[in-house]
Amino acid sequence: MNSIPEFAELLAATTKSAVHLEMRDAYYSNPRFEAWQDGGRVDWDDRASWWRPFHQDIANAVDRGVTIRRARIISEPVTDYIRWEHYQTRANLEAGEHVRWLPRSQAWDLLVPGSDLWIFDGRLMRAHHFSGDGEWISKELCDDPAVVDQHAAAFERIWERAVPHDQYEVK
């Protein structure tokens, strides 16, 4: 595939499901994360201050009947970045996502993909590539049914074992 559509375009074309797998303990620099490190907290009553176009894209898809699940494989004790992600996951939940956490120590016997990814309707996968320090490198799209099915099966095994967000306590 030559051109890779933006996430919003892929999600807008999704009719049934989207799953997202995240496996890094830290990602690229983020001003919201840095503000949180400095003691800044979200005013959850002021939705305009934290609601982003991404959240609206998720909410629009959920309103169309799309189920969106996000699983995060994490190391424990967690990094500050994961502690912040756990804190700000409320925004994902309010947009309509289902989020689960799987400690890496509980995933040791699972075969997991080599990259973070999204799978749309079980037929199209977008893999995300990051540098060692979490900086964004590239993305690629795959519609090979055998490859997408392998990754979808891996996601399902991770999802089954992962802890729902409201039951996971950061350590």
pTM over 0.85: yes
pLDDT at 63: 98
State what percent of residues in the chain have pLDDT above 70: 99
CATH 3.30.870.10 matches 7-167: yes
Taking the C-alpha atoms of residue 107 and residue 159, their distance in angstroms, rounded to an integer, is 11
Geometric angle at alpha carbon 79, from 74 and 82, rounded to 5°:
60
Geometric angle at alpha carbon 148, from 134 and 127, rounded to 5°:
20
State mean pLDDT over 46-69. 97
pLDDT at 95: 98
Listed by start position, the domains of the chain span 7-167
Query: Contact at 8 Å (CB) between 122 and 152?
Result: yes
pLDDT at 1: 47
pLDDT in tens, 14-31: 999 999 999 999 998 789
3-state helix, strand, coil in the chain (%, to 5): 40, 25, 35
pLDDT in tens, 110-131: 999 999 999 999 999 999 999 9
Taking the C-alpha atoms of residue 168 and residue 101, their distance in angstroms, rounded to an integer, is 7
Does the pLDDT of residue 13 top 70, yes or no? yes
Mean pLDDT of the chain: 96
